[in-house]
Amino acid sequence: LTNDNDVRIIDFGIAIVSDSDVSRIEGIAGSPSYMSPEQVQSAEITAQSDIYSLGAVMYELLTGFRPFRANNLSKL
């Protein structure tokens, strides 16, 4: 949401084709505050991972706060 209240949709840069054989991205890609536990652990990423991340985004939209906050990445 911009300062003028315009909605902007962005690409998170880690989308994959759902019918491809790719189920795991080499390395970790994403914003830690919105990553599912399996994504943080470099485990298999599934559609449920996307639902988790969407839930984190929705939580922030509704409350104005990220669901998990910490002073550094290791504590997050």
Q: What is the CATH number of the domain that holds 73?
A: 1.10.510.10
Burial tier of 35 (Cβ tally within 10 Å: 0-12, 13-18, 19+): buried
Range of the domain at 65: 1-76
The pTM for the full model equals 0.61
Question: For 59-70, what is the mean pLDDT?
Answer: 91
What integer pLDDT is reported at residue 24 of this predicted model? 46
For 2-14, what is each residue's pLDDT tens digit? 888 887 766 555 5
* Total domains, the chain: 1
- The answer to whether residues 30 and 14 touch, using CB atoms and an 8 Å cutoff, is yes
Instruction: State the pLDDT at residue 62.
Output: 94
Query: Could you report the per-residue pLDDT of 15-47, keeping only the tens digit for each?
Result: 555 555 444 445 566 788 888 888 888 888 888
Tell me, letter by letter, the H, E, C secondary structure of 29-48.
CCCHHHCCHHHHCCCCCCHH
C-alpha–C-alpha distance, residues 36 and 46, integer Å: 10
